[in-house]
Chains A and B, each alone.
Chain A
Amino acid sequence: MTTDINQTITQITEIIINELKLEDVTPQTFDPDLDLVDEVGIDSMDLATIALVLRDVYGIRIEEDDYPKLTTVRIIAEYIDNKLTSGE
């Protein structure tokens, strides 16, 4: 479980770095507990973009109402993990 979640965290971090073209950071140096809105400065349009990619990669739908609580990469990874586990 821990290994899986860490892989998911790395994958999500790669997606975010690529999609948002974040500079001077790698999946290894990105803090998964960093607040994406308060610190990275992503907005709802960024989140919508990321959600589309995550849908394609993991085959899960991220509800728009859930965006506000997806504040860190770790929380997103746990959200995806829960969806995959519950088969939603």
Chain B
Amino acid sequence: MITVSSLLDDHWYERYRKISKLNIRSSIYDVTDRCNLRCKGCFFFSSGEHEAASEEKDLGKWHVFVENEMARGVNLAILIGGEPTLCLDRIEAFYKRLPTFCATNGLIKVPRDRFPDMMVGLSLWGDEKDEKILRGQDTFKISSANYEGDPHAYYLYTITPKQLGKTEKIIKKITDVGLKVHMQLLSNDEGVDGFSWKPDELVAVRAEMDDMLDKYPRTVISSKYYHEIITTGVMLGRSFGWMECPSVTEPIDKRSPRPKRLTNFIRWASDLRTMHRCCTSETRDCSTCKDGAAHMSWVMVNKRAHIKTTEDLRNWIEVYEMFAKLYQFIPW
């Protein structure tokens, strides 16, 4: 039988041991149905999720809800939108009790006296030109001013096909404001002209992501295996899709055979009762989904499938470490 230590030298085995017992159990929460932007390609609005439920306005119910989530075993709250920072009291209901990550467009600064070490993910969809096309304004100008040098914030850079050849400019800008960056790919749910990926573009963007990781290892939080998985949609010869996705809401997961998946994962709507299908758009074609977290999780839940060769297991470790860094389970 192949054991972990038989595949790893002391350095890698120590890295493995630091993450092997973390047992991260995340769920995702829509904090509000509202946003202060309306971005083309934002799945929350394009798939009508902002109308799926009416947000709970009683703050006391949010506190009770979070307590119940903890009792369910959740140990990482991932807060998404609408725009969570429009409802700081609701964020606080999570933050007071749980390791909490807040995704935001960065236009509103999370007050650090109230949320001193909450990890903040700042969405960024490209350079000034793309941001204006897709989001109506250059958010970087504001978000970078709000979060410059913040050790508990990083950019979630959604790369679009239009960004090919231009990612270094963005990575440099992020480096210059003293922040980290994690890269993912646009899924173009609204079919904006010119923003859907072509096969040759996916090959090119993978090479560019690898290059950015090599050139800016202190800024870019990523791994080349993640780049491979997200651009090809293939892991260990298996193709990503509905029958492989680990991030399906568990109570409504009727798949058979049930794939390896996130334990107890639910994506809750802001009424605290409605459950969305998965971590991203319900209307998205799973076979072309480019969701970064889903692909990361896909690797993470398939650990034993990677205990075959030294290279496979090292790849798994790097992806798990990346996830653990992004959600503050291990330091940068």
| CB-based contact B20/A37 at 8 Å | yes
Q: How many residues of A contact B (CB 8 A)?
A: 22
CB of B263 within 8 A of CB of A44, answer: yes
Contact assessment for A68 and B3 in the assembled complex, using a CB-CB cutoff below 8 Å: no
In the complex, per-residue mask of A35-66: 1 if CB is within 8 Å of any chain B CB, else 0: 00111111111101000000000000000100
- Asked if B283 lies at the interface with its beta carbon under 8 angstroms from chain A, I say no
Among A24, A41, A45, A67: residue with most chain B CB under 10 A: A41
- Complex: how many Å from CA A41 to CA B303? 7
B73 close to A (CB within 8 Å): yes
Q: Give per-residue flags for B1-41: 1 if the beta carbon is below 8 A from chain A beta carbons, else 0.
A: 11111000000000011001101010000000000000000
Looking at the assembled complex, report how far the CB atom of A14 sits from the nearest CB atom of chain B, in whole angstroms.
Answer: 14
B:261-309 near A, CB below 8 Å: 261, 263, 301, 303-304, 307
Contact of B261 among A30, A37, A39, A45 (CB under 8 A): A45
Q: Complex Cα distance A38/B21, Å?
A: 8
We find that the number of chain B residues with CB closer than 8 angstroms to chain A is 19
Whether the Cβ atoms of A20 and B263 lie closer than 8 Å is: no
Min Cβ gap A11→B in Å is 18
B162 at the interface (CB under 8 A from A): no
- Cβ contacts under 8 Å, B2 to chain A: 23-24
Contact check: which of B1, B4, B5, B301 meets A43 at CB < 8 Å? B301
A67 to B3, CA, bound (A): 20
* A69–chain B nearest beta-carbon distance, Å: 11
Give the CA-CA distance A67 to B171 in the complex, in Å: 42
B260 at the A/B interface (Cβ < 8 Å)? Answer: yes
Q: Does A25 contact B (CB under 8 A)?
A: yes
Q: Which of A29, A37, A43, A46 has the most C-beta atoms of chain B within 10 angstroms of its own C-beta?
A: A43
Interface residues of B (CB under 8 A from A): 1-5, 16-17, 20-21, 23, 25, 73, 260-261, 263, 301, 303-304, 307
Task: Write the residues of chain A forming the contact surface with B, with a CB cutoff of 8 angstroms.
Answer: 20, 22-25, 29-30, 34, 37-46, 48, 64, 67-68
